[in-house]
Structure 1
Amino acid sequence: MFDFKSLVSSLLSKNTPASGVAQSATLLVRDLPQAEYFTALVEIIKAVSKINADPEMSLKERVKTLLYVDDKAAGIHHQLCQDYLHSKGGSKGYLPTILAYWHELASAYQICLRLCRGAPNQIAEPEQQLVTARGLHHQMRLLAWNALRYLKPEGNAWQQGFRFYTHAEESGFARTPVALYPDSHQEVSCEHLLIQAGMLHMAQTENMLHKEIVAVDQLLMLLCNQIPLEKQPPTETPIFVYNLSMPEPPQPMLRGMAGKWHRYWSSYEISTRLADLMFDLDTRIPSQLAALGCELEREEWSELCEKLAIRWSNDGGKSLRKSERSLHSSNAQVSIGFDRVAFHIKVQDVGGLDSERNDDWRINDISSTGMGLTFIGKTVDQLSIGRLILVKTESHPPLLGVIRRILRQNNGTKVGIEILGQTPVGVSLLDPAQPDSPPFTAIYITQPNSRKGQRWFLMPKTLMADDKQLVLSAQGKSYQIKLKAPQQEFEDCSHSNFDTLAKMD
Structure 2
Amino acid sequence: MFDIKGLVNSLFQPASQEGVFNLKSATIFMEELPESDILQAQIEIVKALKQLNSNPKISATERFKTIPYLEEKAQPLQSHLLDIYHGRLIEEGTTSHQVLPTILSFWHEMAAGYLSCIKQGSQKKFVPTQKIEQFTLRAMELYAIQAQYAYMRHLEIDHHIWRNLNRLYQFAEQSNFADKPQIAAENISIYQVYVRALMLSLASPEKIQSAQIELIAIWLKKWINEIVLEKELKPHQHLFAINLTGTSSPKRIRRDMVGENWRYWTADPVTTQIQKLITQISQGEPTSLLGVPAESSTPANLELLQTLCNLWSKDTITPVRKHERQSNNKSIRVITGLPNILPFMSQQGKTATTSADHVSAEKWELGDESASGFGLNYHSDIQLETGELLGLANLSNHPFTIGIVRRFNRSHKGFVSVGVETLTQTPLIVELTPLLAEHSISCIYAPEGPSSNPARFLIIPNDIYTENKEYKFTAQNKSYRIRLSPALEHTPTFVLAKFTVLEKL
TM over 0.5: yes
Alignment partner, residue 8 of structure 1: none
Cα distance in 2 for residues equivalent to 1:51 and 1:13? 6
User: What is the rounded CA distance, in whole Å, between the counterparts of 1:354 and 1:106 in structure 2?
Assistant: 50
Using the TM superposition, name which of 104-113 and 328-337 deviates more. Answer: 328-337
- Count residues in correspondence: 473
CA distance 1:413–1:190, change in 2 (3 Å):
same
Aligned to 1:160: 164
Q: Distance in 2 between matches of 1:44 and 1:300?
A: 40
Contact residue 419 and residue 451 of structure 1 kept, 8 A: no
* CA–CA separation in structure 2 for the residues paired with 1:197 and 1:222: 13
User: Match for residue 326 of structure 2?
Assistant: 327
**For the residues of structure 2 that align with 1:85 and 1:260, how far apart are their CA atoms?**
42
**Correspondence for 1:65:** 66
Match for residue 417 of structure 2? 414
1:389-416 per-residue CA deviation (whole Å, 9 max, x = no partner) reads: 1223453202111222222346843322
**117 and 373 in structure 1: CA distance in 2 versus 1, 3 angstrom threshold:** same
**Match of 1:4?**
none
Taking the TM superposition and a 5 Å limit, the aligned residue runs for 1:168-317 are 168-180=172-184, 184=185, 186-225=186-225, 227-233=227-233, 237-285=237-285, 290-293=290-293, 295-297=295-297, 300=300, 302-314=302-314
CA offset at residue 138 of structure 1? 0.6
**In the alignment, structure 1 residue 426 sits paired with structure 2 residue 429:** yes
Confirm or deny that 1:118 pairs with 2:119.
no
Tell me the alpha carbon deviations over residues 23-82 of structure 1, each in whole angstroms, 9 at most, x when there is no partner: x97x999xx98x854444333222222211233322221121111222233344245435
| Partner secondary structure for residue 413 of structure 1 | strand
Secondary structure at 2:225's aligned position in 1?
Answer: coil
| Conserved 8 A contact 1:389-1:400 | yes
Query: 5+ unaligned residues in a row in structure 1: which ranges?
Result: 1-10
Alpha-carbon deviation of 1:249? 1.0
Unaligned runs of 5+ in 2: 1-18
Describe the SS at the equivalent of 1:193. helix
Deviations 1:197-231 (A, max 9, x none): 11111121222233322221112122112744333
Shift of 1:279: 4.8
Distance in 2 of aligned mates of 1:196 and 1:448 = 38
Report what 1:149 is aligned to: 153
**Pair 63,448 (structure 1): closer, same or farther in 2 beyond 3 Å:** closer
Distance 1:463 1:313, change over 3 A: closer
Tell me the amino acid that sits aligned with residue 402 of structure 1.
I
Question: 1:339 deviation in Å?
Answer: 1.9
Aligned partner of residue 196 in structure 1, secondary structure = helix
Deviation per CA, 1:401-440: give whole Å up to 9, x if none. Answer: 12222223468433222222113233567889997x8x86
Aligned AA for 1:101? Answer: F
Per the TM alignment, residue 136 of structure 1 is displaced from its structure 2 partner at its CA by 1.0
Alignment correspondent of 1:47: 48
Give the counterpart letter for 2:192 in structure 1.
H
Residues 67/410 of structure 1: CA separation in 2 closer, same or farther (3 Å cut): closer
- 1:126-145 to structure 2, matched below 5 A, reads 126-145=130-149
Q: CA RMSD in A?
A: 3.9
Contact map agreement 2:374 2:421 (CA 8 A) in 1:
no
SS at match of 1:224: helix
Provide, for residues 337-378 of structure 1, a one-character-per-residue CA deviation record: whole Å limited to 9, x for no partner. 1122222222126412599977432132311xx213132212
Alpha-carbon distance in 1 for matches of 2:449, 2:260: 59
Question: CA offsets, 1:142-188, max 9 Å, x none?
Answer: 111122122231322211222322332333322221134xxx1x322
Going from structure 1 to structure 2, the CA distance change for 1:210 and 1:129 (only over 3 Å counts) comes to same
Closer/same/farther in 2, CA of residues 315 and 325 from structure 1, 3 Å limit: farther
Does the Cα contact within 8 Å between 1:421 and 1:450 map onto a contact in 2? no
Amino acid at match of 1:138: L
Deviations 1:119-145 (A, max 9, x none): 343x32111111111101111111111
SS of equivalent residue, structure 2 residue 416: strand
Q: 1:444 to 1:164 in 2, by over 3 A?
A: same
Q: Give the TM-score normalised by structure 1.
A: 0.79
TM-score with structure 2 setting the length:
0.79
Question: Using the alignment, how far apart are the partners of 1:171 and 1:392 within structure 2?
Answer: 59
Q: 1:257-301: per-residue Cα shift (whole Å, max 9, x none)?
A: 222322223334434444443453443457687544352216555
- In 1, the alpha carbon distance for the partners of 2:23 and 2:157 equals 41
% identical equivalent positions: 22
Which residue in the other structure is 1:5 paired with?
none
In the aligned structure 1, how far is the partner of 2:203 from the partner of 2:66?
A: 37
Which of the numbers 399, 402, 426 marks the counterpart of 1:400?
A: 402
Instruction: Judge conservation of contact 2:166–2:243 (CA < 8 Å) in 1.
Output: no
Separation of aligned partners in 1, 2:279 and 2:446: 39
